[in-house]
Amino acid sequence: MKDKFLKYIENLQDSITSRLEKIDGKAHFKEDLWERPEGGGGRTRVIENGNVFEKGGVNISAVHGKLPKSMQAYFKVGDVDFFACGLSLVIHPKNPFVPTVHANWRYFEMYDESGTIVDQWFGGGQDLTPYYLFEEDAIHFHNTCKTACDKHNPEFYPEYKKRCDDYFYNAHRNEARGIGGLFFDYCKATENITMENWYSFVTDVGNSFLEAYVPIVEKRKDLPYTEAQRTWQEIRRGRYVEFNLVHDKGTLFGLKTNGRIESILMSLPPHVQWVYDHHPEPGSDEEKLLDVLKNPKDWIK
């Protein structure tokens, strides 16, 4: 399974980066191959200063070795070996009318002293962080997520949509990071579902990513915007940074397992503002966004 999923994310990385380069028309992804001293490595691809994408990363990694003590406590296990692989991406467009997007699809194994698998699971999801709310874009993104889920179980979309709303939440701000999507974790084999079933589900979600995001980018990337709208984008990016550094489990796992810091922090945008006690004008488009972030919506209905 680990070899099969690693091959999948290698191919998915190729298809996503080539499509995004074509949309941008100027910038290209810089590839960085790296190795982890304790075992494994990755292939980081970063795009910067493009016509459409100000900064973005589409990274794959496959790391293995002894599970660090700090993560043993987190997973409530003793001395075990682990293998983890996944694709993680964050794209920050230049135009404030184009939303930031994040996605991650991952697979994890743990082994006992004899090398026997004692636990394995899939996780992942994809979510959208707009700076200005276009309801038709939100509906399109969520409908695409639902279509991928419904092929496997009609209960998946409502369950994983709620988990996404709950997880990507800045509790210290009492607001969501964005308008959500899907978030699932610890997808393990049961009497009713095999790891092959989970593989099929996770890869269908991964295959839906470009369909979910690209039409939104193409519709909004050439809209004119003002400096004030750009400032708002940078203020909201600050909230994105806060979530990734304070709450995000993937960032925590990377830092606790001696991950490659440049790859872990590639999710951070290049231009950000923190304005003291900032509040948008009442009745403005900016306030409209905040209302939705404080009260997550059911975009399908």
Provide the CA 212 distance to its chain's centre, in angstroms. 13
Q: Active-site residue among 92, 102, 140, 142?
A: 102
Q: What is the largest CA-CA distance in the chain?
A: 63
Give first-to-last CA distance, the chain, whole Å. 37
For the record, the structure tokens of 176 come out as 């969501």
**How many C-beta atoms lie closer than 10 Å to residue 253's C-beta?**
19
278 tagged catalytic: no
Residue 217 and residue 140: Cα distance in Å, rounded? 12
How buried is residue 93: exposed, middle or buried, by Cβ count under 10 Å (0-12/13-18/19+)? buried
For the record, the structure tokens of 274 come out as 């923190």
Task: Give the type of residue at 82.
Answer: F
Residue 149 and residue 153: Cα distance in Å, rounded? 6
Catalytic residue list:
102
